[in-house]
């Protein structure tokens, strides 16, 4: 037998004195075992093959966007119906700027996978996020981990154009067309999908662009918005870029920022509709901001508010500034009747302005936060009060300081923070924000909490997520 001949040769080699005795003994024992197994027809078995990892999918949309943008993620292959922890790692530029890797890790809360092991979630990138490659990490309780890369940077994929293709006269408007730093500009843009999220960026005359926020269009595809220009806004021609999330429709609106000390009247074009109100629909107890422009410099004017039944409120005289503009704030009375109201401005130089707005009585679905002063009707609201997974809920809350920075978060029924972000209150101390629930949102009572950084005023509002087909109590 070949096996026997080979074995005798190995034995002679081992006995030649080249190897120590213990090693020789072990080798002889192994040879004997192999010979016996071959003689009785038993072959050594190979180690079992390593099981291939289960295929999985993962994605992010968009893959590249400006700081402050909302990114939507999904990943599969997690354990079924388990909690998945989320965190985001910033690029090296963040570490270089802050000097600490820990300061560049953003906790993004937890989310629960569905019965197929899939998780869907959204994350709002910081408005001052460093340009470069970021990574979203998702890890479930069993240790399964997914890493999804995306990038923050200037929106070069959709370069700024003087007039985007398809934009026509009447698709956009801004009022006033020029103003000093800190001026509130009322804008609208149309042509989007109905109830679509539209994101705004501001492009100063020089320097990097700024993320200005995201707002929803109405059912007719029109979005109305007020931009409060920064107090340190760079003088010159600014461009406001508004892009639809699903339609990809883009609108460009231009505005001129002129220093207070050199505001030429000719830079403010005459517009018979140069008047605006901060909200076209409000409730008793809320605050409204108005402005009227294109008045003569230092013109004496009289302004008042008219109720649907003709009763007048807050009639008083004012003097327009050098830029021909007046600004007014008004708290809607608790006894205000529902219907169409009007703000009227009449100047001694023959300038007259008038704008209407609606006062409604509605249930806000709000909850009180223990230890906080009780909020008055109209100080906060949520819309809609309930919806299916994937619904975007819009909120407002009042009582903050003017232009105060506020932080908010959205919390699911288990108490986990889905995402958090910051915004600013307007001149009337009102903050507007929204929570976009993921497609696999847990049914139940959700909450959003907002708190002012200086005033420490806090509001908590609740809303309900229901499964499709599920009816309310």
Q: Could you report the per-residue pLDDT of 5-53, keeping only the tens digit for each?
A: 555 555 565 555 555 555 555 555 555 555 555 554 544 444 444 444 5
pLDDT of residue 49: 47
Mean pLDDT throughout 367-383? 49
Q: Which of 41-55, 322-336, 353-367, 387-401 has the lowest mean pLDDT?
A: 41-55
Q: Which helix (H) or strand (E) holds 25?
A: helix 21-39
pLDDT of residue 70: 67
How are strands ordered across the β-sheet holding 178-179?
Answer: 178-179, 250-257, 236-244, 197-203, 210-216
Q: How many Å separate Cα 311 from the centre of its chain?
A: 41
pLDDT of residue 441: 84
Please count the other Cβ atoms lying within 10 Å of the Cβ belonging to residue 145. Answer: 14
Residue partners of 117: CB distance under 8 A and separation at least 6: 76, 77, 78, 79, 80
Return the HEC string of 401-421. Answer: CCCCEEEEEEECCCCCEEEEE
Q: Could you report the per-residue pLDDT of 203-216, keeping only the tens digit for each?
A: 888 766 677 777 78
Distance CA(200)–CA(202), nearest Å, equals 7
More confident residue, 271 or 181: 181
Q: Could you report the per-residue pLDDT of 223-278, keeping only the tens digit for each?
A: 887 788 888 888 888 888 888 877 878 888 888 888 765 444 433 333 444 777 76
Q: What percent of the chain has pLDDT over 90?
A: 9
pTM of the model: 0.33
The whole-chain average pLDDT of the chain stands at 76
Q: Which of 280-289, 336-345, 460-469 has the lowest mean pLDDT?
A: 280-289
Q: What angle do the packed helices 2-14 and 21-39 form, to 10 degrees?
A: 170
pLDDT for 469 beyond 70 = no
Distance CA(321)–CA(319), nearest Å, equals 7
């Amino acid at each position: 037998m070949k096996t026997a001949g080979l074995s005798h040769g190995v034995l002679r080699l081992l006995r030649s004195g080249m190897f120590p005795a213990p090693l020789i003994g072990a080798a002889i024992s192994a040879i004997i075992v192999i010979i016996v197994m071959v003689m009785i027809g038993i072959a050594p078995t190979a180690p079992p093959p390593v099981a291939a990892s289960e295929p999985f999918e993962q994605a992010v949309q968009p893959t590249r966007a400006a700081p402050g943008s909302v990114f939507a993620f999904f990943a599969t292959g997690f354990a079924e119906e388990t909690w998945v922890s989320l965190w985001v790692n910033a690029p090296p530029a963040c570490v270089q700027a802050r000097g600490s890797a820990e300061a560049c890790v953003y906790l993004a809360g937890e989310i629960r996978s569905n019965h197929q092991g899939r998780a869907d979630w959204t994350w709002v990138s910081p408005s001052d996020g460093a340009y470069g490659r970021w990574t979203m990490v998702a890890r479930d309780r069993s240790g399964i981990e997914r890493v999804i890369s995306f990038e923050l940077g200037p929106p070069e994929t959709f370069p700024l154009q003087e007039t985007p293709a398809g934009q026509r006269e009447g698709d956009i408007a801004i009022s006033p067309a020029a103003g000093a730093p800190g001026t509130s500009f009322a804008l609208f843009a149309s042509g989007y999908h109905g109830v679509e999220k539209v994101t705004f960026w501001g492009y100063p005359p020089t320097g990097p662009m700024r993320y200005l926020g995201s707002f929803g269009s109405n059912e007719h595809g029109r979005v109305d918005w007020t931009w409060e220009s920064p107090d340190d806004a760079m003088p010159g021609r600014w461009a406001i870029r508004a892009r639809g999330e699903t339609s990809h429709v883009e609108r460009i609106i231009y505005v001129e920022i002129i220093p207070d000390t050199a505001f030429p009247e000719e830079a403010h074009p005459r517009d018979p509709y140069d008047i605006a109100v901060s909200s076209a629909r409000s409730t008793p107890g809320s605050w409204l901001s108005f402005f009227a422009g294109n008045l003569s410099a230092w013109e004496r004017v009289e302004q008042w508010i008219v109720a649907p039944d003709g009763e007048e409120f807050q009639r008083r005289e004012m003097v327009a500034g050098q830029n021909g503009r007046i600004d007014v704030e008004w708290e809607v009375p608790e006894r205000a009747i529902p219907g169409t109201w009007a703000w009227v401005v009449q100047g001694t130089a023959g300038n007259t302005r008038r704008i209407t707005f609606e006062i409604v009585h509605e249930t806000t679905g709000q909850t009180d936060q223990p230890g906080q002063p009780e909020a008055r009707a109209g100080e906060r609201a949520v819309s809609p009060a309930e919806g299916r997974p994937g619904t975007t809920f819009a909120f407002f809350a009042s009582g903050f300081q003017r232009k105060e920075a506020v932080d908010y978060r959205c919390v699911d029924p288990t108490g986990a923070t889905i995402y958090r972000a910051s915004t600013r209150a307007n001149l009337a101390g009102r903050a507007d924000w929204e929570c976009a629930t993921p497609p696999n949102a847990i049914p139940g009572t959700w909450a959003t909490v907002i708190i002012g950084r200086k005033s420490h005023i806090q509001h908590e509002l609740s809303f309900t997520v229901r499964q499709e087909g599920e009816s309310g109590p």
